[in-house]
Amino acid sequence: MPDTPPNGPRHVAIIMDGNGRWATLRGRPRLFGHHAGARRVREIVEACPDLGVRYLTVFAFSTENWKRTQTEVAGLMKLFRRYIEREAKALLTAGVRVRFIGDRIRLDERLVRMMDDLELMTSGNDGLHLTIAINYGGRDEVTRAAKRLAYEIEAGRLTHKDVDAETLARFLDTRFLPDPDLVIRTSGEARISNFLLWQSAYAEYEFVDTLWPDFTAAEFGRVVAGYRARDRRFGAVRA
Ligand code: IPE
Ligand code: IPE
Ligand code: MG
């Protein structure tokens, strides 16, 4: 896989939004949009190597998405299982390393088993690192990390003096990931909706109007090119 070009984003995170509206515009049920959205993921995954993107993280289901109808939630869970079933082989041969973030406790056992298997199966890959967020929420993740940290302190393996940003980050779901350089949200909404709150402290954001099922590799390439022109100062003053 080519190296990330100078000024290129190494880690891109995407809030894949707008599937429901895309379907409604066509007079179809929301799940029709989710299926179309799932097909887009492959195109974006395949575009990453040429753009020098080594880490791609996609938001598939939030901790708040349980508020949707039972039909939509069940349909999405089934879609995740189907996605894994259908894509596993192609991901493996393309050298993609797949990992999942989010709380698995509320997910059905069958899905969790498939997620574990795909992680294990691709664990030797070192091409694109694809991370899929399912039942993920930034606040939930930080809360779970704080709880585990507290447990380590209670057990005497750490003390309060060990608690700093670096230690806390080791307890996050994303412990194996660099921070995102660029966060893209489709569908015209300019909000974060609880995605990678801690990790995106210094990310660049790009909000595009395109609904996720219409988001092409060409548009992805344009957004990445736009990122390269930005001046990231991280609080400092350019020399
Ligand atoms: C994003 O599309 C996918 C998920 C949240 C699962 P939406 O389902 O939020 O689509 P809109 O925002 O209603 O159009
Ligand atoms: C964010 O989209 C979650 C995902 C894309 C998985 P939502 O559609 O759930 O976010 P809100 O409700 O518009 O904030
Ligand atoms: Mg939405």
66 lines ligand 2 (CB under 6 A): no
CA distance 95 to 92: 5
Q: 43 is in which domain, residue-wise?
A: 11-137+180-226
In this prediction, residue 238 has a pLDDT band, given cuts at 50, 70 and 90, of confident
The predicted-structure confidence for 116-150, as pLDDT tens digits, reads as follows 999 999 999 999 999 999 999 999 999 999 999 99
Residue 236 resides in a domain:
no
Closest C-alpha to ligand 2, atom 8: 17
Residue 113 resides in a domain:
yes
CA distance 142 to 48: 28
pLDDT of 2 reads 66
Mean pLDDT computed over 19-26: 98
Residue 232 resides in a domain:
no
- For tokens 């779970």, the residue is 144
Please, which contacts does 156-163 make with residues 24 or more away whose CB atoms are closer than 8 Å? none
Residue 167 resides in a domain:
no
Residue 130 resides in a domain:
yes
The predicted-structure confidence for 68-79, as pLDDT tens digits, reads as follows 999 999 999 999
Q: How many whole angstroms from 12 Cα to the centroid of ligand 2?
A: 18
Residue to substitute in 21, 73, 185 for testing ligand 1 pocket (most ligand atoms within 8 angstroms of CB): 21
Residue 44 resides in a domain:
yes
b/e map 185-195, b = 16+ CB within 10 Å: bbbeeeebebb
Total structural domains in the chain? 1
- Whether the per-residue pLDDT at 208 is higher than 90: the answer is yes
26 lines ligand 2 (CB under 6 A): no
Total-model pTM: 0.97
**Which ranges in the chain belong to alpha helices (H)?**
19-25, 30-51, 70-93, 109-121, 138-154, 165-169, 217-228
Residue 58 resides in a domain:
yes
Q: Domain of 62: which CATH number?
A: 3.40.1180.10
Between the two ends of the chain, the Cα-to-Cα distance in Å is: 33
